[in-house]
Protein backbone atom coordinates (compact mmCIF):
# COMPACT_ATOMS: atom_id res chain seq x y z
CA UNK A 1 0.00 0.00 0.00
CA UNK A 2 1.76 3.17 -1.17
CA UNK A 3 1.36 6.48 0.62
CA UNK A 4 3.32 9.71 0.62
CA UNK A 5 2.92 10.05 4.39
CA UNK A 6 2.50 6.61 5.93
CA UNK A 7 4.66 3.51 6.05
CA UNK A 8 2.79 0.21 6.15
CA UNK A 9 4.77 -2.70 7.56
CA UNK A 10 4.04 -6.22 8.71
CA UNK A 11 5.68 -9.21 10.29
CA UNK A 12 4.20 -12.67 9.88
CA UNK A 13 4.99 -16.30 10.34
CA UNK A 14 6.00 -18.34 7.28
CA UNK A 15 2.66 -20.16 7.22
CA UNK A 16 -0.70 -19.57 8.84
CA UNK A 17 -0.41 -22.54 11.18
CA UNK A 18 2.76 -21.19 12.84
CA UNK A 19 1.86 -18.89 15.73
CA UNK A 20 3.35 -16.73 18.44
CA UNK A 21 1.81 -16.46 21.90
CA UNK A 22 -0.17 -13.23 21.97
CA UNK A 23 0.47 -12.51 25.65
CA UNK A 24 4.25 -12.74 25.11
CA UNK A 25 4.11 -10.14 22.33
CA UNK A 26 1.85 -7.90 24.43
CA UNK A 27 4.25 -8.15 27.38
CA UNK A 28 7.19 -7.36 25.09
CA UNK A 29 5.48 -4.24 23.70
CA UNK A 30 4.56 -2.93 27.14
CA UNK A 31 7.98 -3.74 28.64
CA UNK A 32 9.80 -2.16 25.70
CA UNK A 33 8.53 1.25 26.75
CA UNK A 34 6.78 3.91 24.76
CA UNK A 35 3.81 1.74 23.79
CA UNK A 36 0.43 1.67 25.48
CA UNK A 37 -2.36 -0.77 24.84
CA UNK A 38 -5.47 0.80 23.32
CA UNK A 39 -7.63 -2.28 22.93
CA UNK A 40 -7.52 -5.95 22.09
CA UNK A 41 -4.21 -6.37 20.30
CA UNK A 42 -3.91 -2.66 19.49
CA UNK A 43 -0.96 -0.60 20.65
CA UNK A 44 0.02 3.02 20.13
CA UNK A 45 3.37 4.69 20.76
CA UNK A 46 3.13 7.51 23.31
CA UNK A 47 5.44 10.01 21.61
CA UNK A 48 5.96 9.11 17.93
CA UNK A 49 3.46 8.00 15.29
CA UNK A 50 3.36 4.20 15.35
CA UNK A 51 0.43 1.83 15.79
CA UNK A 52 0.62 -1.95 16.06
CA UNK A 53 -2.16 -4.51 15.66
CA UNK A 54 -1.76 -8.17 16.64
CA UNK A 55 -3.87 -10.60 14.63
CA UNK A 56 -4.50 -14.27 14.05
CA UNK A 57 -5.45 -14.23 10.37
CA UNK A 58 -6.94 -16.92 8.16
CA UNK A 59 -5.38 -15.36 5.04
CA UNK A 60 -2.37 -13.08 4.57
CA UNK A 61 -4.22 -11.15 1.87
CA UNK A 62 -7.51 -10.51 3.67
CA UNK A 63 -7.74 -9.48 7.31
CA UNK A 64 -9.37 -6.90 9.59
CA UNK A 65 -9.37 -5.68 13.17
CA UNK A 66 -11.72 -8.50 14.21
CA UNK A 67 -8.91 -11.02 13.67
CA UNK A 68 -7.49 -10.47 17.17
CA UNK A 69 -6.97 -13.63 19.22
CA UNK A 70 -5.85 -13.37 22.85
CA UNK A 71 -4.03 -16.72 22.65
CA UNK A 72 -2.28 -16.85 19.26
CA UNK A 73 -0.91 -14.34 16.75
CA UNK A 74 0.46 -15.01 13.27
CA UNK A 75 0.40 -11.51 11.73
CA UNK A 76 1.38 -8.09 13.07
CA UNK A 77 0.40 -4.94 11.21
CA UNK A 78 2.46 -1.78 11.83
CA UNK A 79 1.58 1.72 10.68
CA UNK A 80 4.12 4.52 11.11
CA UNK A 81 5.48 7.46 9.16
CA UNK A 82 6.83 6.90 5.62
CA UNK A 83 10.36 7.42 6.95
CA UNK A 84 10.25 5.93 10.46
CA UNK A 85 12.15 7.86 13.13
CA UNK A 86 15.30 6.29 14.58
CA UNK A 87 13.40 5.27 17.71
CA UNK A 88 10.99 3.16 15.64
CA UNK A 89 13.77 1.70 13.48
CA UNK A 90 15.53 0.57 16.67
CA UNK A 91 12.26 -0.92 17.90
CA UNK A 92 11.83 -2.79 14.58
CA UNK A 93 15.22 -4.45 15.11
CA UNK A 94 14.38 -5.54 18.65
CA UNK A 95 10.97 -6.88 17.61
CA UNK A 96 12.57 -8.88 14.80
CA UNK A 97 15.04 -10.44 17.24
CA UNK A 98 12.28 -11.18 19.76
CA UNK A 99 10.02 -12.88 17.18
CA UNK A 100 12.73 -14.40 15.00
CA UNK A 101 11.24 -12.99 11.77
CA UNK A 102 11.84 -9.89 9.63
CA UNK A 103 9.57 -6.88 9.33
CA UNK A 104 8.63 -6.17 5.73
CA UNK A 105 7.00 -3.25 4.00
CA UNK A 106 3.59 -3.72 2.41
CA UNK A 107 3.72 -2.58 -1.21
CA UNK A 108 0.59 -2.05 -3.31
CA UNK A 109 -1.45 -4.34 -1.05
CA UNK A 110 0.67 -7.29 -2.16
CA UNK A 111 2.52 -9.17 0.53
CA UNK A 112 5.88 -10.57 -0.56
pTM of the entire predicted model: 0.88
Q: How far apart are CA 40 and CA 58, in angstroms?
A: 18
- Domain spans in the chain, listed from the N-terminal domain onward: 6-105
pLDDT tens readout for residues 63-82: 877 899 999 999 999 999 99
Q: For residues 62 and 111, is the Cβ–Cβ distance under 8 A?
A: no
Render pLDDT for 36-69 as a digit per residue (tens, 0 to 9): 999 999 999 999 999 999 999 998 888 877 899 9
Amino acid sequence: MESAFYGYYFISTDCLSNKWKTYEIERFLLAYGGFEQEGNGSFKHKSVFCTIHLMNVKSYTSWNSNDYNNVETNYINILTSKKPPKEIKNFFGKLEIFLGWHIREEIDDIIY
